[in-house]
Amino acid sequence: AMLGMVFKKIKETGLPFIVLGEGSDVLFTENFNGIVLINRLLGYEFAEDANFHFVKLQAGENFDHAIRTCLSRGIYGLENLALIPGTAGAAPVQNIGAYGSSFSDFCRYVEVLDLENNKLSRIKAEDCEFGYRTSIFKKHENIGKYIITAVELRIPKKWKPNLNYASLEGLSGAGAADIYQRISDIRKSKLPDPHVIGNAGSFFKNPTVDGDFYKKLVSEYENVPGYFTEGEGMVKLAAGWLIEKAGCKGLRMGNAGTYDKQSLIVVNHGGATPAEVVNAARHVRSQVLDKFGIELVPEVRIFGRDGECAL
């Protein structure tokens, strides 16, 4: 009820608004001319039946903390999503994922406040239109329509480790906590700590190409990282590899550039303006387009004065 009143008041102002969790995947290019709300809804609920654990997370809970809480309670399955920044409420928006696992693999429903009628409702996972780093909540017509208040996860009791990634080889027989630790260690070695070097993690999505394009790449380059997706004959390429081959590894433009250990990450070396970050990202995108004919799509959401905008 309180939340409904807050949004009624916001609507009356006529100003645009956005809701953030921890803002870890967002770039503001200038001062936003509207209202920014930070989701601080907290709390956990645990339930189970014969086959599944059900974990309900309020939207403001830190998602990695939730994974650790589940592990400590003997609930295994989320460990491949270790150390992804952000809140439970942000997880369905991007359909966060890593190391062969996605939020959508475990989502039962997303609870939302529908701002058209000020009522709480549940959107079942199958109606969330989950895809690679996307969902119904990212669609332009739905921005500002729903506020995510909670998510419920459905986690099988029969745990089966997901070790399909090359960097997880050698972990067969390992427990869920060991896998969580390994993935955390890998992420820390590849990703700069945003408290030390400003970044929003992977700046671009990994692009998908058809099998013929992939074969052509393999004939021209050694060790092309790519793996077949569910789409008929489609292959997902590593955007970081494309950026590196396009000559943008360790790129520096003003105070922004790409991270020297992982080209997919655009970093602020200290004192970078939003324009410098955007220019570095645009340069990377144009170099990859020139070299490979592939247009990289940002994973980071970019906001200008009046709301979300393109790179």
Backbone angles phi, psi at 173, to 5 degrees: 95, -10
Given the residues 102, 135, 202, 263, the one annotated as active site: 202
Q: Is residue 308 pLDDT above 80, yes or no?
A: yes
Given the residues 111, 182, 299, 301, the one annotated as active site: 299
Task: State the Cα–Cα distance between residues 311 and 13, nearest whole angstrom.
Answer: 29
pLDDT tens figures, 99-128:
989 999 999 999 999 988 889 999 999 999
Residue 230's pLDDT is: 64
Q: Is 286 a catalytic residue?
A: no
Task: State the Cα–Cα distance between residues 123 and 246, nearest whole angstrom.
Answer: 41
Above pLDDT 90, what percent of the chain? 78
Q: Is 299 a catalytic residue?
A: yes
pLDDT tens figures, 139-179:
878 878 899 999 999 999 999 999 988 788 888 889 999 99
Given the residues 133, 182, 285, 301, the one annotated as active site: 133
Mean pLDDT of 31-37: 94
pLDDT tens figures, 61-90:
999 999 999 999 999 999 999 999 999 999
Q: Is residue 204 pLDDT above 90, yes or no?
A: yes
- Cβ atoms < 10 Å from Cβ of 51: 9
Three-state secondary-structure class, residue 93: helix
Q: Is 12 a catalytic residue?
A: no
Q: Is residue 309 pLDDT above 80, yes or no?
A: yes
Query: What is the pTM assigned to this prediction?
Result: 0.87
Instruction: Collect all residues with Cβ–Cβ distance below 8 Å to 203 and sequence separation of at least 6.
Output: 264, 265, 266, 281, 284, 298, 299, 300
pLDDT tens figures, 218-261:
999 998 988 777 667 789 999 999 999 999 999 999 999 999 99
Domains of the chain: 2-183 (3.30.465.10), 192-309 (3.90.78.10)
